[in-house]
Chain A
């Protein structure tokens, strides 16, 4: 689905593609830094202690979430500057792309990159022979991974919209809400392999955030009804 989003909404406009790739790049850099921290922490600690490793892992995950949000903020700042540049360059004085579109594309960029990194090795292994969950792990590993990745990609998209909106209108609570939600979702994934604990709340959260982002972008129940009934 995320790839479909890409094709239908982003691939037409070259500017959006650039913003997308830059968004992915920012996510990547944040991942790099967070894994650097984690790596240092692991090396500095005792490799035999299971509990400690698990604790470090959790710490790493939380830290990574915070870093991702920090980079989202940095990206927002960069895009603001870019919009000013674009406005100055364009002939009729208005930017060819609005900040909301940028927010959307940035969110998709983040989401795609994080989804790709989560899934792609899994997919590559899935092509080969093997049995899922042979050592007593869940048999639904691939399925749940796929769903979790998808929900995370969508969430990143919506968080992007919310985040930028919050920054634009200086509503700090929106930004804080995004950060808290991200932490929550990552935290929920700790419940794995108890999938009901992680997947279901994540999807509920996603639905809520989707509605919120939709309202923020100017949609309304009326628009939705008209769209669904194809009234145009």
Chain B
């Protein structure tokens, strides 16, 4: 997944919200385009979906938003400042991403640990047709690899489809798709989740109350994600849907397939973002060319400034991510399609507009551009940590180790983003670290720590 700002690489979204880190710069309002040549360039970079944009061009973009007259002058001044500010505020942006990722992981781990439903095996998704209940190890490995191939090809097809839609400006279709998938995600998954949580804690709730609660939750969510809403609420909703999606993945992906899929997805992410013909990269570039924000529903943005001009492109952006997953899938298991849709959605961007630094003209307090991270990234990080919590016998040690590994990977990715100033894939480094740490902690550290603890030795 690409972390990046603004560009809508929502294609990947359905399943994998590719975590691309994008610079959070939102495309400047067209009216300011002229004066913002510099910022555009910066934005283009920011828009790369995949890249995690540190608040780099915020100044430029923000400047663009501001009053037009002083813009060109400010532009150049701002550019220099931006460079410094980018790195200076780098730490702040890292933290701005740490917090939501941590929250998402905490939600997923807490649910896994307490609610039994998500660790029971109740069948598999249509996207992983091969079962893993085979007698021999070789057969199981083969099946998981085949599952991975199926899943990845589905993701590729969806992503390409989304990019094509975006290229040919079928915004309505993309919009409708995204709306439909977020609808299903918000209502259906929340209903199931709530049901399971209530069952676990043996709390009774009558249907009318349930209906009202879910209806409110879903309606507010739809408004927040696809239209306007307070930033915190929007972020909270995006975190929640990522967590729900991750939970669905954890439940329905068989063991070995899950790990192989995680590895394959990070490789795919790497290629899709960095190769010149990669779909995500094309998506980001197209969005940047058109100076449109990437679909808000697919990307998480750490900061946002709503401007009137931004509203429209944002809504357009939101559409695509959902489209990736077909409502047609509905026919099958309910859970299947929504999950996919979810992933697509997650991939899409979070609110596109990133806060733009206020230009000197306004003499307002500086807002930094936030960094954008694709929702798919959230989902896969949480899947990794959730699987570690669910299946590792070393329990909390392994979970903690994976958590730290993922955070460090995110740090490094953001650092690279600051250095390269392009959309970057956020998945590979973190997932690699996470996988390494998971397997090594589970097999090597756990016996060591257990023996130490039983003798009460301390190192």
Hey, which bits of chain A sit against chain B, CB under 8 A?
14-15, 17-18, 21-22, 24-25, 28, 31-32, 34-36, 38-39, 42, 57, 60-61, 64-65, 68, 89-91, 113-114, 116-118, 120-122, 124, 141, 144-145, 148-149, 152, 185-186, 189-190, 192-193
Contact = CB atoms under 8 A, between A and B. Distances in A.
Contact of B396 (A15, A124, A192): A124
B98 interface: yes
B453 A122 contact: yes
Contacts of A57: 451-452, 455, 457
B96 to A, nearest CB: 8
Contacts of B441: 32
B453 A121 contact: yes
Interface of B: 84, 87-88, 91-92, 94-95, 98, 394-397, 400-401, 404-405, 407-408, 411, 437, 440-441, 443-445, 447-449, 451-453, 455-459
A117 B403 CA distance: 13
A28 B457 contact: no
A121 B459 contact: no
Given A18-B94, A21-B411, A189 B440 contact: no
A145 B453 CA distance: 9
B458 to A, nearest CB: 4
Given A18-B94, A186-B458, A117 B400 contact: yes
Closest CB pairs A-B (n = 5): A35-B448, A14-B95, A192-B456, A14-B91, A189-B458
13 contacts: A18-B91, A21-B98, A21-B408, A24-B404, A25-B408, A28-B404, A28-B437, A114-B459, A117-B400, A117-B449, A121-B394, A121-B396, A152-B458
A15 B89 CA distance: 10
Nearest to B446: A35
Contacts of A42: 447
Contacts of A64: 459
Contacts of B396: 120-121, 124
Contacts of B443: 39
B444 A32 contact: yes
The prevalent SS among residues of B at the interface is helix
Given A14-B92, A25-B405, A116 B400 contact: yes
Given A17-B98, A18-B411, A120-B396, A38 B448 contact: yes
Contacts of A17: 95, 98
A25 B411 CA distance: 12
A124 B114 CA distance: 12
Nearest to B96: A14
Nearest to B394: A121
Given A25-B405, A35-B447, 6 more contacts: A14-B94, A22-B408, A28-B437, A31-B448, A57-B452, A144-B456
B453 A22 contact: no
Given A18-B95, A28-B404, A118 B458 contact: yes
B254 to A, nearest CB: 26
B448 A60 contact: yes
A220 to B, nearest CB: 32
Contacts of B84: 89, 91
B400 A25 contact: no
Contact of B444 (A14, A39, A116, A124): A39
Interface centre among A14, A36, A91, A145 (most CB of B within 10 A): A14
Nearest to B83: A89
B448 A39 contact: yes
Given A25-B404, A122-B453, A148 B444 contact: no
B458 A32 contact: no
